[in-house]
């Protein structure tokens, strides 16, 4: 990927799908960690559509007891939409008008680009339109583990947008989603160790696989993260997964493990 820096007004929003907070704590992820301190946050929902729909209207993962703007959206939101909801006790990083954050940045003249890996972003699914329809360009790769293909698409879009002003870029990463697999991984992609109500699930294998996938993802995100170094970057999970806690597996269920997520944030080049 071309390492030319983007306009510093730009925003990169990365969701590492299903990534547990404890996975991130254990991982060797130097490129993501370079964004700033790792925060233990509460996701706005326990499944992809609910969480992204909330984040796209400004309810990003929440560090409830923090007194730091943007980490605690109740204090000050990273993205604030018009007059909706509590105005906050401090100024937001970005004040926007529109149906959602994407529409708000589009109205501000940003180039709006998005790519989502999991099926909630499939344009053939009507419910996906709630997440995708405001992007100027959106790419859904056929298959949930296609980060390299997504990054190639992003590279082409950023090359075309060079000199066109600030960019709002959204990237949903699917390798960390069940069944936890990345290209070249030394285990079968078709075997899922985390199946709701499954009888042969394996929490140790879940942990090993998601950790390996996160480290693989981190290495490949390095050039993109560097390109946005002087801009704003939000990296987080949309939710976590249960690995047998209280007899529960996967996500789509309200539980501490599905709602506790990693959060890293850099605003206009400054770590938060």
pTM: 0.96
In this prediction, residue 1 carries a pLDDT of: 45
123 pLDDT higher than 90:
no
Q: What is the pLDDT of residues 44-54, one digit of tens each?
A: 999 999 999 99
pLDDT per position as a tens digit, 193-238: 999 999 999 999 999 999 999 999 999 999 999 999 999 999 999 9
* Structure confidence by residue, pLDDT tens digits, 62-108: 999 999 999 999 899 999 998 766 667 789 999 999 999 999 999 99
pLDDT, mean of residues 141-161: 91
Would you tell me which CATH number, out of the four given (2.170.8.10, 3.40.720.10, 3.30.2320.80, 2.40.50.140), belongs to the domain 11-264?
3.40.720.10
**Could you please report the per-residue DSSP string of the chain?**
---PPPPTT-EEEEEETT--HHHHHHS--HHHHTTS--EEEE-S-SSHHHHHHHHTTT---B-TT--STTTSTTT--SEEETT-S---SS--SEEE-SSSHHHHHHHTT-EEEEE--SGGG-TTSGGGHHHHTT-SEEE--SSS--HHHHHHHHHHHHHHHTTS--EEEEEEE-TTSTT---TT-SS-TT--S--TT-SS--HHHHHHHHHHHHHHHHHHHHHHHHHTTTSEEEEE-S---EESGGG-EESSS--HHHHEEEEEEEETTEE-
């Amino acid at each position: 990927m071309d390492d030319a820096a983007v306009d510093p007004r730009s925003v990169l929003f990365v969701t590492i799908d299903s990534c547990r907070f404890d996975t991130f704590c254990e991982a060797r992820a130097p490129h993501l960690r370079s964004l700033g301190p790792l925060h233990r946050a509460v996701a706005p929902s326990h499944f992809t559509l609910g969480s992204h729909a909330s984040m796209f209207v400004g309810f990003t993962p929440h560090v409830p007891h923090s007194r730091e703007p943007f980490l605690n959206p109740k204090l000050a939101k990273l993205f604030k939409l018009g007059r909706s909801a509590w105005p906050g006790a401090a100024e937001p990083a970005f004040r926007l008008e529109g149906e959602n954050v994407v529409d708000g940045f589009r109205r501000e003249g940003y180039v709006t680009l998005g790519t989502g890996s999991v099926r909630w972003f499939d344009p053939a699914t009507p419910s996906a339109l709630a997440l995708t329809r405001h992007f100027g360009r959106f790419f859904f790769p056929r298959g949930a583990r296609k980060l390299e293909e997504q990054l190639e698409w992003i590279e082409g879009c950023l090359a075309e947008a060079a000199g066109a002003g600030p960019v709002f870029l959204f990237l949903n990463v699917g390798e960390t989603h069940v069944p936890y697999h990345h290209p070249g991984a030394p285990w079968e992609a078709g075997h899922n160790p985390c199946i709701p109500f499954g009888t042969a699930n394996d929490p140790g294998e879940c942990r090993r696989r998601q950790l390996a996938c996160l480290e693989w993802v981190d290495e490949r995100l390095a050039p993109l993260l560097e390109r946005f170094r002087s801009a704003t970057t939000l990296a987080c999970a949309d939710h976590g997964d249960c690995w047998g806690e209280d007899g529960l597996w996967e996500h789509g269920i309200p539980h501490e493990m599905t709602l506790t997520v990693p959060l890293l944030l850099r605003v206009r080049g400054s770590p938060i």
